[in-house]
């Protein structure tokens, strides 16, 4: 029987590929947008720039040091590498990051409002307060700084006019939190729409019958 060679690095790379495929399969990104990384010690494995998730291979992934210098791989790292590096630097607890462009979270990122009301998932995953960072060009150092500024000790942040980033102890968790954030944003939008459509009706329902007024 042939033994399968599994090293910690190989496991990390397979996890990044699987998370990327999950993002694409669940429509959490459009095409080759979004990105995924995992941290092992002082190394970060990140998805490459402009590469389809479905056909991405381990050799396409890029390993960088904490300073962003490429130590393994021939492709260009994701253009949001600066964002990933800044969050890992600020959050030693972060072992994996997922960046998505899910529709409801992205829509909410144009509002500059905290993502509320909180659903059960927010507490279940201990996500904390989800705030929105100042809009900045994709891939810029300004975007990375702005995201870290508002992330604080939360496990998710909305990038202004752009999408979401989630922080996990591993990639499974970062991915689950990304789904929870999209769910939360979807619910928040439903409530906004519901408030507008049913506001007057709901208020009228709270008016006591005339004969029972004090």
Cite the active site residues. Answer: 80
Distances (CA, A) of 59 to 9, 97, 194, 211: 12, 20, 48, 77
Nearer to Zn ion, 20 or 163 (CB): 163
Judged by CB under 5 A, the number of residues near Zn ion is 1
- Please, what sign has the CA dihedral across residues 161, 189, 130, 27? negative
Burial class (CB in 10 A: 0-12, 13-18, 19+), 193: exposed
Q: Which is nearer to Zn ion, 75 or 116 (CB)?
A: 75
Contact mark string toward Zn ion, 107..146, x via CB under 5 A: ----------------------------------------
Site for Zn ion in 159-198 (CB under 5 A): 163
47, 56 contact by CB (below 8 A): yes
User: Which stretch in 17-25, 102-110, 157-165, 189-197 sits in contact with Zn ion by CB under 5 A?
Assistant: 157-165
Two tokens at 78? Answer: 């994701």
8 Å CB contact between 109 and 82: no
Choose between 98 and 188: whose C-beta lies nearer to Zn ion: 98
The least CB distance from residue 98 to Zn ion, in Å, is 11
Choices 3-11, 143-151, 158-166, 204-212 (CB under 5 A): range interacting with Zn ion: 158-166
Positions touching Zn ion (CB under 5 A) are 163
């Amino acid at each position: 029987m042939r033994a399968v060679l599994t090293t910690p690095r190989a496991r990390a790379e397979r996890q990044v590929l699987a998370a990327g495929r999950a993002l694409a399969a669940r429509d959490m990104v459009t095409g080759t947008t979004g990105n995924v990384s995992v941290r092992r010690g002082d190394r970060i494995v990140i998805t490459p720039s402009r590469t389809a998730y479905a056909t991405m291979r381990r050799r396409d992934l890029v390993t960088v040091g904490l300073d962003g210098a490429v130590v393994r791989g021939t492709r260009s790292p994701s253009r949001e590498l600066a964002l990933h590096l800044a969050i890992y630097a600020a959050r030693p607890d972060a072992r994996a990051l997922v960046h998505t462009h899910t529709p409801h979270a992205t829509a909410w990122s144009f509002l500059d409002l905290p993502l509320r009301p909180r659903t059960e998932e927010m507490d279940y995953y201990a996500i904390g307060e989800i705030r929105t960072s100042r809009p900045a060009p994709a891939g810029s150092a300004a975007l990375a700084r702005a995201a870290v500024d508002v992330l604080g000790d939360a496990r998710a942040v909305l990038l202004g006019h752009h999408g979401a980033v989630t922080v996990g102890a591993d990639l499974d968790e970062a991915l689950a939190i990304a789904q929870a954030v999209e769910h939360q944003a979807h619910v928040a939008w439903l409530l906004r729409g519901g408030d507008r459509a049913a506001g007057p009706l709901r208020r009228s329902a709270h008016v006591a019958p005339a004969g029972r007024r004090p």
